[in-house]
Structure 1
Amino acid sequence: MKALAGTRFLRIPLFSAWLIFFVPLLTQDYLLCQPIRAVWVTRWDYRSPGDIHNIMANLAGAGFNLVLFQVRGNGTVFYPSRFEPWAEELGGRDPGWNPLATAIDEAHSQGLRLYAWLNVFPGWRGKQPPANPQQLFNAHPDWFLADEDGTSLPLNPHYVWLNPVLPQVQQHLSNIVQELAAVPGLDGLHFDYFRFPGPGASYDSTTLALFRQTYGISAWDSTELWDRFRRDAITSWLRKNYRKIKAARPEFVFSAAIIGDYDNGPDVFLQDSHRWLAEGIMDAVFPMTYTDDLRLFERWLKRHAPYRHGRALCPGIMVYPDTATVFEELRIVRKMGLQGFSLFAYSSLFPDHQPTELARVLGQRWQVAPVPQFEIPAGPAPLYFRRVQVLPPHPRAADSLRIACTLGGDSSATDSLACLTLWENDGIFPVPQILRLRRSTSRPEIWYSGQTVSPQGISEHFYAQAVAYRRGQVRRTAVHSELLHVIIDATTDRYRQASGRFGPLMLQPSVLAADDSGRVWVWEPGAGLHRLTADGKETPRSTMQTYQDSNGRARPLKNIVGLQFTGDNRLRAAMVTSGRTLILTAQPEDSVFLLQTAISGQAMRAAFDGRGRIYLLQKDGWSVFAPDGAQLASVSFGRRHSPNGIAVSPDGETVLISCRTEGIVHRWQRAAPGGAWVYTRAQDLPVANVGLGGVFWGLDGTVLVCHVPDSYVTVLDRHFRTVDYLIGGKPALRVPRAAVSSPSGELIYVLPTGGMTPVRLQQWKKISSQAE
């Protein structure tokens, strides 16, 4: 590997590099006297003092030592409050006893600690408004989140959310947590839903005005600053309340359930959990690492583990029927030296207060452990990175790059800072090359590269990481930043953003298809299949709601998992229902689908080749079917995977699977073209870090790969050569979940990840044509 010309790079052998920079991070004493063994107890698990007695006795008997006890669900509470009404689960009135006080007494009598678990930002749940006029939804409707059009998010089977940015919301929630912190005997707080429901919210006039007042621009002018503004609103509220409560009760613990897949935290749910730990304003985090995919479970934990800064990291583990999975995940937690774990939830361990086999085994394996005690560091980490940037943000091959970092903690005492740039898709440092940074004379917390770096000679993707340390104290003080994935765009632009806000707002749209006239079909659960014109408009009766079964009867569309135009210009859809996958077909002008065939089993995702053959993705593999439903091939992954999507070449010879487990796109090749339907693994696509992103293969050979963690789409040709990146724009392309191209490849539509908030498509148009 060559050092870049004109830069000061130092070569360090692999062993020495790890010894200097990473051993301190691995050997620091993070372990507690006893591991935290926690359980979430939901608000549906108890209705009487007797229930709470049974809960605490059962958990103590099974060897647990910490109870996360829910006392606030949706703007109503399970204790006498001066600020919110009693929970509707208790009849909406004083039940004559205090569940929280009872739980504290019962827990302490069993040697357990108890944190009050509260859903922070949900303000109501369900399709019907609360009966109590004093409940927040009725008393303060202007406190709730609004979508991009400024319309309040509607009631739904799940939650409607308070706006974290509004000062009056922040004050109300401060009143709640300070009230709880004053409850005698309470050991700590546990925040859940401590985030936004997704990026497509908080567009009310007050929040937009506050943003403009802060940055002097509109929310549409900078997606980066708009997201940071909303993340900072939560962090600043936490900082204020943490410091106030800790000043009075230093032993009181702040904890939070956080997004398990960290890559979705800051950009999808606007949750800055690693920053909370670095700033020292959160004592323990419980990542919701709910997956039975063991490799994905460990991958998620490895994204969190280096950024604990001496605080507790306790993964959340779902109680699966397969107890072997639970024990294997506990083994991974122990192997990684984490401080503990929490199981979700009590009712899965003790349905009707009776122990399951898992609960009995846990009680036999674990001795009753003392209440875990650990020293909570005072104040922020001595050193940590607030931000690392590569400038320009979206560099091209002709650009000169600079690296800039902002340090937190005691940055004034830092004598040197190094930045490691590497060329490995997995972010591994085999032979790291170090570019030393300079400290700003006017702002000592800012460091920057005095020299520019030429991208020539760098691979298309590289990873940058900053390492800060005090001279002479490298082993004891070295800290490193989050890994920064940088794309060097050496392509010639083929596409430009034509519309960053295309079509109507849609809630959790999942699959889409486009034709050459610019029309696009998008499936929105609960609303139907939208058919949009080339300018993003909906026409009367443009939403398809039904299909016609084999008896000619109209049936409702639901659970569409695949949608694609095939070579005969027919729109094909795959719909999951009652243990089967139905294959539906329609002409572009039709208002109703016709049933083509039914296949046993429920697909996760579906794709079609140019001849209408069907490719169904399941968790353990994928299968190929003829248009009449006859099975042609079945392929097993061989081990547990978490696949996101499936795509197939127009001739059916190649199948692509986007894989969340490994963050890559697998390729399967038909062993004998035109022969037997047997597929073998081929070389993976030259892409990385797809996260939740899907994959698409158009009739013209265009391949699209969505990269959720890094917010871009890779455009490849039929030979898997990168021809363009869809990145940036105004508003910027954010966390793309799915993308499709029109049959000719002239148009690309991108579907962003919205979480629980409505989003719009983006439309990109081809601006040049090159020989392939």
Structure 2
Amino acid sequence: MKKRTFLKTTGIVIGGMPFLLNSFTNKKGLPKYWVWLRPSLKTTDSEWVDIFKKLKESGVQAVLPQIYSSSSALFEIEGYTVQDRWLERIIPIAQKEGIEIHAWMWTMICNDSKMLEEHPDYYVVNRKGESAATSPAYVGYYKFLCPRRPEVRAYVQHRVKTLASIPGLSGVHLDYVRMPDVILAEGLQPKYNIVQDKEYPEYDYCYCDYCRSEYKKKSGIDPMEIEDPENDADWYQFRYDAVNDMVNNFLVPEARSRGKKITAAVFPNWESVRQQWHKWDLDGFLPMLYHKFYNAEYQWIGEEVVKAKDRLQNDKPVYAGMFIPHLKGNELVLAYEDAKSKGADGFALFAHGNLKDEDYVMLKKMTK
């Protein structure tokens, strides 16, 4: 399995008033059935018509195209390298076929050469004092910005503001809105010859100068001097809040003020990535319940939906994120039926490129 794969692995509102929602819409006016889509710049407009038409006929209502993956943008935005205006091109095509577009952006990972050169201090630092700008964990592109820094918050906020201003876009979808994994999912550790039976310093973030200074102001303690950081609840919450505050006070308002929905791809093992997402004021959540990464069977997906609903303690929708390569034969249908019986408000499939002809047949069963 390629490294990139495992670590992703990387204006129309359907329905209207809440009390008029039908079987093809969900709470808060959101779609029920989603698919993540990697970019394909060489695909023609007529080919996109066929793609969206096929998805719509299979019951899919929303597509999440990846329009920013840490270095260049696939939409017009000031201050970024713009590779293509692909997002603006596909929105009207999808709309015509009855498909919503929610722009999928990497949030904290930044491999922009200008940012790395001019602002290496904006990146997270591990407990060994190593910056993700120069010594990223696990894979070379794992260069996370620090979510507590005001400059970083403004940088990411500008991206959400720009996306939310695009006519016809239905929503903004956040990915990698977290810190690096302090502990990888157990099914992934052998692939990297890693044994993580506790939180090791090289994977534990963030100890940048700004975070250390802010925590010392709050507590009187330099986090580098905490004897047992893995079991220090206050230090843990401080790092959760770095992400919580950025999402709730900087990103959500930008989307909402422009009439856009805002969702996120989130982790089931949220503690390990400092991602306390049940505290986020989003419109919906797409937890990535890729069961084999956790050495589990597909029934685990439904179990995690139950846990998500229990943590949220509200009526925000949870869409069961399923990794298509992990589900063979009719397991896709079985996994979703089980998740739905446990409270899932719909599904999100990773990814469009993995769908085979037989999967489209199963999609029709799942969405009828």
TM-score by length of 1: 0.38
Q: 1:190 to 1:243 in 2, by over 3 A?
A: closer
- Match in the other structure for 2:13: none
Superposed, 1:182-221 pairs within 5 Å as: 182-199=165-182, 200-219=204-223, 220-221=225-226
Distance between the aligned counterparts of 2:252 and 2:321, measured in 1? 26
CA 1:137/1:323 → structure 2, altered by over 3 Å: closer, same or farther? Answer: farther
1:33 positional shift: 4.1
Q: Which amino acid aligns with 1:34?
A: F
Q: Structure 1 residues 194, 242: CA separation in 2 closer, same or farther (over 3 Å shift)?
A: closer
1:177 corresponds in structure 2 to 160
Shift of the alpha carbon at 1:46? 4.3
Correspondence 1:55-454 to 2 at 5 A: 55-86=51-82, 93=83, 95=84, 98-124=85-111, 133-134=113-114, 136-153=115-132, 154-155=135-136, 156-199=139-182, 200-219=204-223, 220-221=225-226, 223-242=232-251, 244-245=253-254, 248-249=257-258, 251-260=259-268, 264-266=269-271, 268-276=272-280, 281-291=281-291, 293-306=297-310, 307-320=312-325, 322-349=328-355, 355-363=356-364, 366=367
* 1:315-342, Cα deviation, whole Å (9 max, x unpaired): 1011135132111111113223422111
Indicate if the aligned counterparts of 1:318 and 1:326 stay in contact, CA closer than 8 A: no
Which amino acid is 1:194 matched to?
V
Give the letter for the 1:47 counterpart.
K
Give 1:363 shift. 4.1
C-alpha distance in 1 between matches for 2:124 and 2:49 = 38
* Cα deviation 1:514-565 (Å, max 9, x = unaligned): xxxxxxxxxxxxxxxxxxxxxxxxxxxxxxxxxxxxxxxxxxxxxxxxxxxx
Cα distance in 2 for residues equivalent to 1:365 and 1:315: 13
Report the secondary structure of 1:118's partner residue: strand
For the structure 1 residues 346 and 185, does the alpha-carbon distance in structure 2 shift closer, same or farther, using more than 3 Å as the test?
same
**Structure 1 contact 123–161 (Cα < 8 Å) conserved:** yes
* C-alpha displacement of 1:122: 0.8
SS of 2:81's equivalent? Answer: coil
1:243 CA displacement: 5.4
What secondary structure sits across from 1:71 in the alignment?
strand
| Superposition pairs of residues 546-557 of structure 1, within 5 angstroms | none
Check conservation: 2:164, 2:255, Cα contact below 8 A. Answer: no
Counterpart position of 1:53: 49
Whole-angstrom distance in 2 between the partners of 1:243 and 1:255: 9
Identify the residue that residue 36 of structure 2 maps to in structure 1.
40
**Cα distance change, pair 116–158 in 1 and its aligned pair in 2 (3 A):** same
CA-atom RMSD, angstroms? 2.3
Check the 8 A contact 2:66/2:104 in 1, yes or no. Answer: yes
| Offset, 1:297 | 2.0
Alpha-carbon distance change, 208 to 348 in structure 1, aligned in 2, over 3 angstroms: same
- Structure-1 separation of matches of 2:22 and 2:263: 16
**Cα distance in 2 between the residues matched to 1:170 and 1:323:** 44
Work out the CA distance in 1 between the residues paired with 2:55 and 2:157: 31
Q: Is the 8 A contact 2:107 2:174 kept in 1?
A: yes
With over 3 angstroms needed to count, the CA separation of the structure-2 counterparts of 1:331 and 1:82, relative to structure 1, is same
Q: CA deviation at 1:32?
A: 6.4
Deviation at 1:121, TM superposition (A): 0.6
* More helix, by proportion: 2
TM-score (norm 2): 0.76
Equivalent-residue separation in structure 2 for 1:316 and 1:212 (angstroms): 38
What letter matches 2:291 in structure 1?
A: T
Shift of 1:148: 1.2
User: Which structure 2 residue ranges, 5 or more long, are not aligned?
Assistant: 1-18, 26-31, 183-203
- Contact between 1:67 and 1:112, CA under 8 Å: does it hold in 2? yes
Unaligned 5+ runs, structure 1? 1-28, 87-92, 125-129, 350-354, 368-772
| Structure-2 change in CA distance of 1:39 and 1:246 (3 Å) | closer
Higher strand share: 1
The answer to whether the 8 A contact 2:291-2:298 is kept is yes
**Count of matched residue positions in the alignment of Structure 1 and Structure 2:** 306
